[in-house]
Chains A and B, each alone.
Chain A
Amino acid sequence: MNRFSWTRFVAVLAKEFVQMRRDRLTFAMMVGIPVIQLILFGFAINSDPKNLRTAVLDADPSAFSRSLVRAMENSGYFRVTRVVDSYADGGRLLETGEVQFLVTVPEDFSRRLQRGERPVLLVEADASDPAATSNALSALLNLNQTGLDHDLKGALASLKPGPPPFELRVQRRYNPEGITQYNVVPGLIGVVLTMTMVLMTSLSMTRERERGTMENLLATPVRPIEVMAGKIVPFIIVGYVQVTIILGAARLLFEVPMVGSLAVLSAASILFIAANLAIGFTFSTLAGNQLQAMQMGFFFFLPSILLSGFMFPFRGMPEWAQWLGEVLPLTHFLRIVRGILLKGNDAGEILPELWPIAAFLLAAATVALARYRETLD
């Protein structure tokens, strides 16, 4: 007869608590993960982004155009950050992601409006991420009704009833049908690379330490830079295989448009892969065992996915979260990969997104090399 024994149960229970307390990192995770999730999901993430960056090209400055722009800003969704003089300038801002909307007031707007010719007010949106712009675009519909209420006075009051005195034309650029996959699938390249590159490197290094093979390796004449390079190159190849698989699927399964140059994309991928490997290497110099390395990888992965603009619109987040997001390589890589595939960005246009990744790589590699010991001290 072997009944449930409270003594034995308590023995196991007590042991578990002692071990839980010993493993500081796991303990920190148990407290840290809920706190991070609360902060990120509670404060940072906003699926109804407002104050989106907007450029205005006003070829006919008038009371009407000012009212319309003010009305757009009053909706809360648009924030005019740039005023441009030519359509080409505006287009470039849209292309590089500097702004998400370009509002064009054509020449003769006020004159034609007053004549009742219903001139066109053009709003172009960067629709590569449909979720980021769709609410703002629906808010535009109000503009039709009320945008010029105050200006249609006196002789123009006759324009008030009936159809709006101007024609609002909305163009969804880069993804006119608003297909979510066009945005998500290219982004997956970055997410998958982040997840596997960080984990694989940190695990492969900590495994050496955990199994004791590190001691043997350190006793040989092999140099840290040789170990680092030797371990990183295979993963770069693995990374490229992953990129190829996802790109193939994007093309064949999801029919994602690929406007830009794949050569530029692969060149940019090297930098991004290297940055992730460097952070993985850094984790491995900090972690005591493979479990801790996994946990650190998760700690890095969570904000990467939430704050990079992969799952939720980047511009919808509060300022502090955007700053945090700007630090992460994934944020910049997402802009690069979407920019190249959907908008046809060339090498010059992705340059502003490359140097933050390079800076991150430099910082992570410096920490990793400084922390990597040629001794067991």
Chain B
Amino acid sequence: MSAVSPLAIEVRGLTKRYGGRAVVDHVDLAVPRGRIVGFLGPNGSGKTTTIRMLCGLLTPDDGTGTCLGLDIRAEATEIKRHVGYMTQRFSLYEDLSIEENLDFIARVYAVPDRQRQVHDALKRLGLEARAKQLAGTLSGGWKQRLALAACLLHQPELLLLDEPTAGVDPKARREFWDQIHSLAAQGITVLVSTHYMDEAERCHRLAYIAYGKLLAQGTAEEVIAQAGLFTWQVTGDDLATLAEELRRQPGVEMVAAFGASLHVSGSDRRQLEAAIAPFRGRPGTAWAEVQAGLEDAFIKFMRDAQDNLQ
């Protein structure tokens, strides 16, 4: 295993086709070691397929690359030993107890000093008292914690987490992210897919995929800069009507509601300002230029990708 590469994941041209349609289309992805990389994109954009190719669950139709310095095609078996993969759907055995599940996973990975490891994992989870409880009877948040504990048992160097916080309450989500950060601090690399913007902001780096194409990657600032958006924020009354009117203006590419305000964005500053000029004096509205947010950037990427497809 080559520890020399500063990248935990480095793939080029990764492609997967189903029935002639490219679900993942020439994705180049670089994930630095010890970082948390958020993997974002709409439903069906190819996030899960990409993750499955990275951990050897799917064979890529095209593309080359390495995971932890191991070739994703030739050394998939070896990769599995060093990667912890948490599936989108709870995939431990619901008819086994918490302890039995952990014990099974520890055995499969041939974890040394197995019983102590399992016991420690239970203790960390705070599930010692419920060790004999069936995994199927746990709530969504506990299932997620258990699944994470299970994929940490063999002390992986890379964690691939596929929408780990879907259907989990805010408190559990927060605890989960605290744990992810402490793992990263120990040097573990994390690639985590998510739909939540607040979670995106907690990542060191982001990668955005839509329609199978990787549209942007980098830090949050870099991703926003890549979108090249100018944004004005409007607060005031009757924003719904205003939004309708603004959408019809040339130069306005996106109008999105954020609580009690609107974000009006365009990639051409002059055109955008010309377009909003007639509305700025409207009584009861307040206008201010703001920094475009991640969500604005993502919507812009998705639109552009859509336009390219049509």
Contacts and interface: CB of A to CB of B under 8 A. Distances in A.
Contacts of B105: 220
A300 to B, nearest CB: 27
Contact of A376 (B52, B89, B93): B52
Given A212-B89, A213-B92, A216-B91, A375 B58 contact: yes
A222 interface: yes
Nearest to A216: B91
A216 B143 CA distance: 14
B56 interface: yes
A219 B58 contact: no
A151 interface: no
Given A375-B56, A375-B58, A376-B58, A219 B92 contact: no
Interface in B101-145: 105, 108-109
Given A211-B94, A216-B91, A221 B109 contact: yes
A367 interface: no
A319 interface: no
B85 A219 contact: yes
B90 interface: yes
A211 B59 CA distance: 22
A217 B107 CA distance: 12
A215 B87 CA distance: 7
B229 to A, nearest CB: 37
A377 interface: yes
A212 B87 contact: yes
A362 interface: no
Given A220-B109, A221-B80, A213 B93 contact: yes
A376 B80 contact: no
B57 A376 contact: yes
B173 interface: no
A377 B61 CA distance: 10
A354 to B, nearest CB: 36
A342 to B, nearest CB: 43
A374 B87 CA distance: 16
A228 interface: no
Contacts of B76: 374
A140 interface: no
Most chain B CB within a 10 A radius of its CB, from A211, A218, A221: A221
Contacts of B93: 213
Nearest to B16: A377
A220 B92 CA distance: 12
Nearest to B150: A216
A213 B59 contact: no
B249 interface: no
Contact of A222 (B57, B58, B90, B108): B108
B291 interface: no
A222 B90 CA distance: 19
Contacts of A375: 56-59
B271 interface: no
A281 B90 CA distance: 24
B269 interface: no
A329 to B, nearest CB: 31
A363 B246 CA distance: 69
A214 to B, nearest CB: 8
Contacts of A218: 57
A212 B90 CA distance: 7
Contacts of A216: 85, 87, 91-92
Interface in A123-145: none
B164 to A, nearest CB: 14
27 contacts: A211-B91, A211-B94, A212-B87, A212-B89, A212-B90, A213-B91, A213-B92, A215-B89, A215-B91, A216-B85, A216-B91, A216-B92, A218-B57, A219-B56, A219-B83, A220-B80, A220-B109, A221-B80, A222-B108, A374-B56, A374-B76, A375-B57, A375-B58, A375-B59, A376-B52, A376-B58, A377-B59
Q: List the 10 closest A-B pairs by CB distance, nearest first.
A: A216-B91, A219-B85, A212-B89, A220-B108, A212-B91, A221-B80, A215-B87, A376-B57, A213-B91, A215-B91
Interface of B: 52, 55-59, 76-77, 80-81, 83, 85, 87, 89-94, 105, 108-109
Given A212-B91, A213-B93, A217-B108, 11 more contacts: A211-B94, A215-B57, A215-B87, A215-B89, A215-B91, A216-B91, A219-B83, A220-B105, A221-B109, A375-B59, A377-B58
